[in-house]
């Protein structure tokens, strides 16, 4: 990651088109995604089916940093199809994180998937994306259609969109400083409705099992990540926080820097993650 200061966020505000700034995401949030990938694979590699020529689908690849890391854990991978709904992220991934074995495609996972994907993949993987998905039943059905029998599904995502109390207070104070109290109240209401909150792992495990999978692991883990700098923390706020969708464009960078300054420990991110490892045992349609 480039050596930059949190104040650079304000200086670069005019040059960034919006919340989905690929370069900023690559410098900040993508680095944390890479570290979270290590945790997922450390626990799953011993029980993953070792296909001689893995064909992998990466759902929500972002700017491609974590996608490239996949090959470190699965060196015999034949090909990776990496999708993201942001064309800016996909263009950046194609330029900066290109690989002969990776095909980056702009595709919304909640829409219809290409027919030629039917029973194509020996692994489907997703790293901190499913919490954005409204209909998990539909998504898992599409995943089932795209996977070969005896193939692995590896997923982790936020257990809830609800921020911790200290994060909520920091957001409210930052909103007051930026004169966007009404916008923040709307953001808090929207975040509460944004994703399903799985009260326990068993409810999600039952859903997966009903859709042609046998569940090897489905648990909720307490996670803690240490950001390397305040810039990385603020950059994550700008690029991935659902609050930012309600912050006016000309206030995004100021809000992010204020928010980080009010956090009790701006370097630590606490959250709960749903961690899933399942194997397809039958096609459902």
Which run of H or E residues covers position 230? Answer: helix 230-240
- Please give the pLDDT value at position 17: 35
Which CATH number do you get for residue 191?
3.40.50.150
Which run of H or E residues covers position 145? Answer: helix 136-146
Question: Does residue 40 sit within a domain?
Answer: yes
Structure tokens at 283: 């096609």
State how beta strands 213-226 and 77-84 pair. unpaired
Question: Does residue 270 sit within a domain?
Answer: yes
- Please give the pLDDT value at position 160: 67
Question: Does residue 3 sit within a domain?
Answer: no
Pick the closest to residue 24 from 13, 34, 37, 36 (CA basis): 13
Question: Does residue 16 sit within a domain?
Answer: yes
Question: Does residue 2 sit within a domain?
Answer: no
Pick the closest to residue 163 from 199, 187, 181 (CA basis): 187
Q: How far apart are the first and last CA of the chain?
A: 45
- Please give the pLDDT value at position 225: 79
CA distances from residue 140 to 165, 186, 255 in whole angstroms, order as listed = 32, 30, 36
Domains identified in the chain, total number: 1
Domain that holds residue 218: 8-280
Give the three-state DSSP class for 67.
Answer: helix
- Provide the whole-model pTM: 0.84
pLDDT mean by block of 10 residues, the chain; 285 residues = 45 38 76 74 69 88 88 86 94 94 95 95 92 90 97 87 73 93 84 65 93 94 82 76 78 86 84 90 92
Question: Does residue 1 sit within a domain?
Answer: no
- Please give the pLDDT value at position 137: 94
Pick the closest to residue 124 from 186, 64, 55, 175 (CA basis): 55
Query: How far apart are alpha carbons 153 and 106 in whole angstroms?
Result: 21
- Please give the pLDDT value at position 141: 97
Question: Does residue 285 sit within a domain?
Answer: no
- Please give the pLDDT value at position 10: 40
- Please give the pLDDT value at position 196: 62
Query: How far apart are alpha carbons 205 and 91 in whole angstroms?
Result: 35
């Amino acid at each position: 990651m480039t050596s930059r200061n949190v104040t650079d966020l304000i200086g670069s505000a005019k040059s960034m088109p919006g919340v989905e700034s690929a370069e900023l995401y690559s410098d900040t949030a993508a680095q944390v995604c890479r570290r979270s990938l290590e945790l997922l694979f450390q626990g799953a590699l011993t029980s993953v089916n070792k296909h001689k020529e893995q064909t992998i689908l990466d759902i929500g690849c972002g700017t491609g940093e974590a996608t490239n890391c996949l090959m470190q854990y699965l060196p015999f991978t034949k090909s990776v199809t990496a999708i993201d709904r942001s064309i800016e992220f996909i263009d950046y991934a194609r330029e900066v994180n290109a690989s002969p074995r990776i095909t980056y495609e702009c595709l919304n996972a909640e829409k219809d998937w290409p027919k030629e994907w039917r029973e194509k993949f020996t692994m489907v993987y997703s790293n901190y994306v499913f919490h954005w998905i409204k209909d998990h039943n539909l998504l898992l059905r599409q995943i089932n259609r795209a996977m070969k029998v005896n193939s692995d599904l590896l997923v982790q995502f936020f257990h809830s969109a609800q921020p911790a109390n200290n994060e909520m207070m920091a957001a409210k104070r930052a909103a007051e400083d930026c004169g966007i109290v009404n916008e923040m109240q709307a953001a808090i209401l929207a975040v509460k409705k944004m994703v399903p909150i799985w009260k326990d792992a068993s409810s999600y495990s039952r859903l997966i099992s009903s859709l042609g999978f046998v569940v090897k692991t489905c648990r909720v883990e307490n996670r803690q990540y240490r950001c390397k700098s305040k810039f990385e923390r603020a950059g994550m706020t700008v690029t991935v926080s659902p609050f930012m969708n309600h912050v006016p464009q000309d206030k995004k960078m100021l809000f992010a820097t204020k928010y980080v300054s009010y956090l009790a420990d701006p370097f630590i991110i606490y959250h709960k993650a749903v961690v899933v490892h399942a194997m397809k045992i039958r096609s459902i349609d």
